A and B are shown apart, each in its own frame.
Chain A
Amino acid sequence: MQATSPAIPASTHHPAHHPETGFWRTYIFSTDHKVIGIQYGITALCFLFFGFLLMLMMRWQIAHPGEPVPIVGPLLAAVLGDVAARGVMSPDLYNSFGAMHGTIMVFLGVVPLAVGAYGNYLVPLQIGANDMAFPRLNMMSYQLYFLGGIVMLTSFFIPGGAAQAGWTSYSPLATAIPTDGQTFWLIGMVFLITSSLLGSVNLITTIIQLRAPGLTWMRLPFFVWAQFTASFLLLLAFPPLETAGILQLMDKLAGTSFFLPTGLAIGGKLADISGGGSPLLWQHLFWFLAHPEVYVLILPAMGIIGEIIANNTRKPLWGYKSLVFSVLMIGFISFLVWAHHMYLTGMGTRISAFFQTTTMIISIPSVIILTALLISLWGGSIRFNTPMLFALAFLPMFGIGGLTGLPLGFSASDIHLHDTYYVIGHFHYVVAPGTIFALFAGIYYWFPKITGRRMNEYWGKVHFWGSLLFMNLIFMPMFVQGLAGMLRRMSDGGLQYSAAKVPGVAGALSGPILGLNNFILWAAAGLAIAQIPFIINFFWSIAKGQPVRSDNPWEATTLEWQTPTPPPHGNFLKPPQVYRGPYEYSLPGYDKDYVPQNQPPG
């Protein structure tokens, strides 16, 4: 046998090229950080799309309670059975979709895209490494993420459907709902959390150990700092939730009562427990993860925005050091703010004063980052390409998201706004036109490096303006609804609380406030249509996009652009040596307006 296998001639065996591997090893069970990054990216984009479709159906339900969902109604009835009889979403199904929309968007969509895909693909390239520190562990974290996603998706089709207790899964409700959706949710979360833990260990080790010679900490691109901090948040915040998830699973399956108090009367079965547990303990453990998680969503987004703004203003980021320290400060303080989600559980003055103070303190580095990015524009020579448009729009959108956090961060004003649509508007401004715009910006920006082709600019701009318009038409009215007192998680959109149902009652919801549900539905449909150019552009450009003429089409300074396009296995043709900071644009004395990090001095 040995004689028949062709030997690889030594002369063509380049050190950066490993022997050819088959389809499975190259694309499915790859240990190459770039392939894994793309796997994460494609999977996460699919989940984002799916989570968005769930939301579209929910928006129909609350705008038209009791009416069959158009187009997909018969499909829902056929596949899901009683919970969608005649194509009408039952409250059970609405609650399932609500819980899964949140879970999918956060744990299966945005985090895997922001950290799994961007972190995996770009961090080794930006620090001049061949691969991640632990390539096999990297492959395993993607596989666990994929399995977690499969478990979550499967839960839609079991009797009774997916989890119904919100993405927050508060006990005792999560335990009390008699179906198995919550069990699937918890098992899925254990997979997803394990995946994130492995991924974050890998990124942290890679950034500490594998930086190219000369790439000192203060020469790291801002994006790498953001990924580094986000990975620490994942590493330190997720274990409490993993533990809590297993405890809740025991409450559900083994009859324990970690989160179930004495004196619980729900049906017959749950009353038959020893009791003595604490529902508040679950909330503390959940939010101890879930607040840092918010920063896991936003920090990589800020990192992407920083890269794109520096590149397209053709000048260094303003206040690089204060940006880095602000990111680290956010990471640290994000562990001290969690209970601001719990002001109304019955919190005393001292504890609430502590959490209000930390919440105000964490707003300072956030404002510093936003201000530094805004000031970076001053004196620039701004190119308005598609990535830059998304990056620029991020700034005011994230601004709205951040500012509307203020009245929620003060416990006294939270009395009125807690659990209303004001909260929904607030965090969606942070995550949707905030983080997701940054992720779009990143896709348009790094697409030429990954595929060797550019995405179409015209359709990119159509995608941008449509998304910007409809995002605002969706989320701005939610502030109006929330201030008027409309609550979230109502499967009929507040109909039972409307002035029409309860005449003569002060504080009932007015017709126009309820009517906004319909307005938001059509805005959401508009947002769906605005994504069509992106989807077509994405696939069309992979095959037919304009080929790039250079390895560095944006004329950027950071190391990922100093590789062949697309980067081969092993990334760099020769190990890079770094001589300078990350954003040396428009420096006097050079003929070009950018100096790559690996260009020797002189």
Chain B
Amino acid sequence: MNQLMERFLGLPPLASEHGQGVNDLISYLHWLMIILFVGWLCYFGFVLWRFNRRRNAKADPVGVRNHASSYLEIVVAGVEASLLLFVAIPLWAQRVDQFPSQDESTVLHIAAQQFAWNARYAGADGEFGRQDRALVSNDNVFGIDPADPKSRDDVQVLNEIHVPVNKPVIAYVTSKDVIHSLKIPAMRVTQDATPGLRVPIWFKPVKEGRYQIYCAQLCGNGHASMAQGFLVVESQEAYDRWLASKVGAATSFE
């Protein structure tokens, strides 16, 4: 049933573990909407035909005498409440509260800017250098403390963000200038990138490929052309080779 609805709605391809949950919720809701709307429309069409002045010259001032509509409203409220309690809230809790452990995940920092995506990896030592908001500048978008030795092997890339497949990704999302929004439709993730805030998100890519990153928040006159960001999901080996090919620190203050 839901597959039928997904095809009808034309949802874009899916490549993350939790994404099916988002799709399912969208499908359930559209079933509810379509059933209600078609029901209303049938009733509506009938009354317009039946109670046209030509067919019904004298109105009945009381009209409907039963309480069927109240029961219907209770049923609709019940369906909404069940979707909320048993589908929507648990799915959201899994997204924002139940993070996988950092050791088993690919951890990266993402900083948006007008009009590109920066990503930073911990490098060989597995630890990020110290960061401070007060250090953020046009050539230090993450506010890295250059004095911290841990920052020396960190890898920073622009727009091409690689992650290994079948391993959770934890990304800390922020911005150096205005509000952007990191949206990767295939992963069914969206997170506003707000300057001054660093918000973690996580998802588990399950299919290799090259996926579009959208900026979903109006961020200035280049908003529409902020389309150079891609998430590349590849095998662990390919990912390791790619990361090793990047020289630590050299790219961080360009």
Partner-B contacts on A (CB < 8 A): 90-92, 95, 164-166, 170, 172-173, 176-177, 261-266, 271, 275, 277-280, 313-316, 318, 344-349, 352-353, 356-357, 360, 363-364, 367-368, 371-372, 374-384, 392, 395-396, 399-400, 403-404, 406-407, 410-413, 415-420, 480, 483-485, 487, 489-492, 494-497, 501-502, 504-508, 585-588, 593
Contacts and interface: CB of A to CB of B under 8 A. Distances in A.
Contact of B51 (A378, A403, A484): A378
B195 A349 contact: no
B124 interface: no
B134 interface: yes
Contacts of B143: 263
B225 A492 contact: yes
A483 to B, nearest CB: 5
B96 interface: yes
B1 interface: no
Given A279-B197, A315-B61, A345-B192, 19 more contacts: A172-B178, A261-B196, A264-B196, A265-B137, A265-B177, A345-B197, A349-B89, A364-B77, A395-B40, A399-B40, A411-B92, A415-B190, A416-B188, A418-B216, A419-B217, A483-B11, A484-B11, A496-B226, A496-B227
Interface in B27-65: 29-30, 32-33, 36-37, 40-41, 43-44, 47-48, 51-53, 56-64
Contacts of A496: 224-227
A264 B10 contact: no
Which of A164, A262, A344, A376: most chain B CB closer than 10 A?
A: A344
Given A399-B37, A412-B22, A412-B87, A379 B217 contact: no
A315 B63 CA distance: 8
B64 A318 contact: yes
A364 B192 contact: no
Nearest to A406: B29
Contacts of A384: 52-53
Contacts of B33: 403-404, 406
A284 to B, nearest CB: 13
A378 B47 contact: yes
Contacts of B254: none
Nearest to B77: A364
A419 B92 contact: no
21 contacts: A172-B195, A265-B138, A265-B177, A313-B59, A318-B64, A345-B199, A352-B92, A353-B89, A378-B63, A379-B61, A380-B60, A407-B29, A410-B83, A411-B88, A416-B23, A418-B183, A419-B183, A489-B223, A497-B227, A505-B211, A507-B211
A382 B177 contact: no
A31 B134 CA distance: 56
Nearest to A372: B69
Given A314-B59, A412-B25, A487 B216 contact: yes
A266 B114 contact: yes
B13 interface: yes
Contact of A165 (B58, B177, B181, B218): B218
Contact of B196 (A279, A347, A357, A487): A279
B29 A416 contact: no
Contact of A349 (B53, B92, B177): B92
B61 A587 contact: yes
A419 to B, nearest CB: 4
Contact of B224 (A375, A420, A495): A495
Contacts of A261: 133, 195-197
A563 to B, nearest CB: 25
A266 B177 contact: yes
B41 to A, nearest CB: 6
Interface string B195-211: 11101000000000111
A502 B185 CA distance: 15
A317 B240 CA distance: 70
B15 interface: yes
B3 interface: no
A90 to B, nearest CB: 7
Contacts of A492: 224-225
A98 to B, nearest CB: 8
B243 interface: no
B136 A346 contact: no
B136 A416 contact: no
Given A349-B97, A364-B77, A381 B227 contact: no
A406 B58 contact: no
A381 B97 CA distance: 57
Nearest to B226: A496
A376 B212 contact: no
Nearest to A361: B77
